[in-house]
Amino acid sequence: MILLNCENLLKPLKNPLHIVQVLGLRFQTKCYIHGININKPVRVRFAPSPTGSLHLGGLRTALFNYLLARKTGGSFVLRIEDTDRKRHVPGAVESILTTLRWASLDFDEGPGKDSPHGPFYQSERTELYRDYAARLIKVLIKNAEGFAYRCFCTSERLKKVREIAQISGTNVLYDRHCLSLDMAVIEENLANGIPHTIRLKAVPEGVIKVNDLVYGSIEVSDKNIDDAIILKSDGYPTYHLASVVDDHLMKITHPPQFAHLPLLVNLDKTKLSKRSGDVSVENFMRNGYLPEAILNFVACLGWCPDTDKEIFTLKELILEFSPDQIGHSSASVLISKLDWLNKAHMKRKIESTEGLKELVKILKPLIQEKFSEELVTRGEKSKLDDEYLSKVILTIGDRIRKLSDISELCGYFFISPDYDSSDSLAFRVKIGEDNLKIISKAVAYYLKDLNTHERNNLESLKLCIDNVAKETGKTRDKVLMSLRYIITGTKVGAGVVETMCTLGDKIYMELAPFPPPTLENN
């Protein structure tokens, strides 16, 4: 079985079954019938093209194949379909491999792994494809009906064919100009080195029916079936030949059965484009989303488990997943839902020692990228230590959606507050400068009588705040609001006392003799 994105729905309909017949490929299809349990391990493959970084739809395809392989005790194969050299993007393969490792979707066979079924880059398998294309040509010589033929048409001629079809309002299909060339002409063209392609001959059948494991029976008129190019003039194969040959030689278990996944769409129902940077998995990685949350999110884009449960780990997905629960309707990508899932997975991790370590590992490079230079300059590299980062996560973790929120919204844990921002200035006005002066002096006074332990103890600090409120005649809320501004420069964040404890004795004592010069000069 092969799980594919729905946008490729017509790819397998361009006569791969004819290739299967000619090459003598025999696939076992009895192991899986839609809606019935699989009774033996499957070999499935994820075969991306290196035309850019992996997007959400591609990750979902990889995940579903991975889940099916793990659920049945089978094999998950990674194949890089890099035969379209014009669209090849340097670094794309490394990006795809990095993303799969980040998501813990470990492949059993693929690039960098020893296997009798390699190599796993299609660009390294071109001789195989040429050999199989030659077999199809030889069959044509022996069989009047044929299966493939050489096409010597120039790009200029093909352009004219397309223009004529467009003017007449008919389907843009090849006119089979080269189908019946004499063998003498073919041999002369080959001897003269005239560039050519090899086309698969579509056999008229009226209506071609294909059973898709998700969408059911699909019918396509043979009027819409072109004589697809299977080997290009540069010697590289197209998808139609290479995928079938590779699925055969790599012993993928269920072709020509296909399961096409529902499209991913935006809120306005427009197709989610993989050319949009914000749907790249790397973009979500850079923003501090957890791999567990991303996998949970993409799994539920089109898959409807028989449970009200919404939060799944990768192990739980393996147990719950079944292809017959994949729906037909397009799936809307709701980032708000992803944020909710990410927050839930963060909460799970915060509650365990190992989980907290994993969060620190993700957070550290985000903080280094944002604040490292300034922290080193100020001699405060300790703020990049695992222990301090753990404290920050424990303090603010239940208030954020993703770890990048810490670097973007809670910079005060690492550098001095930005008192000059418009939000901070508005907050200062709301509190009132007289209140800030009175409260800051009172806090500094009471802190003098606390030892180091007390200044980092929640109960001691709460008592200090109560005393300041009583001494100044200000409400406790006004004292907390003023302290929040003094130590963070912002009106939102974790609890004030908890934030004070996390910032620590040394840093807090530097902030205590407040107001800053900007206030004192007013």
Q: Which residues are catalytically annotated?
A: 274
User: In 88-201, where do the E strands start and end?
Assistant: 148-151, 197-200
Alpha carbon separation from 343 to 6, 386, 411 (Å, rounded):
30, 21, 20
Q: Which residue is associated with the tokens 């129902």?
A: 269
The conformation of residue 215, written as its DSSP 8-state character, comes to T
Contact assessment for residue 96 and residue 48, using Cβ atoms and an 8 Å cutoff? yes
Structure tokens at 515: 């107001």
CB atoms within 10 A of CB 239: 20
Rounded to whole angstroms, how far apart are CA atoms 408 and 237? Answer: 47
Rounded to whole angstroms, how far apart are CA atoms 35 and 33? Answer: 6
Residues 6+ apart with CB under 8 A from 448: none
The conformation of residue 77, written as its DSSP 8-state character, comes to E
Which helix (H) or strand (E) segment is 211 a member of? strand 207-212
Question: DSSP states of 363-430 as a string?
Answer: HHHHHHHHHHHHHHHTT-GGGGSHHHHHHHHHHHGGG-SSTHHHHHH-GGGTS---TTSHHHHHHHHH
Contact assessment for residue 63 and residue 105, using Cβ atoms and an 8 Å cutoff? yes
- Indicate the pairing of strand 264-265 with strand 331-332: parallel
Q: Determine the 3-state secondary structure of 269 from DSSP.
A: coil
Q: Rounded to 5 degrees, what angle do the CA atoms 440, 445, 447 make?
A: 95
Contact assessment for residue 148 and residue 133, using Cβ atoms and an 8 Å cutoff? yes
CB atoms within 10 A of CB 52: 20
Largest CA distance in the chain: 107
Rounded to whole angstroms, how far apart are CA atoms 111 and 97? Answer: 9
Determine phi and psi for 406, rounding to 5 degrees: -65, -45
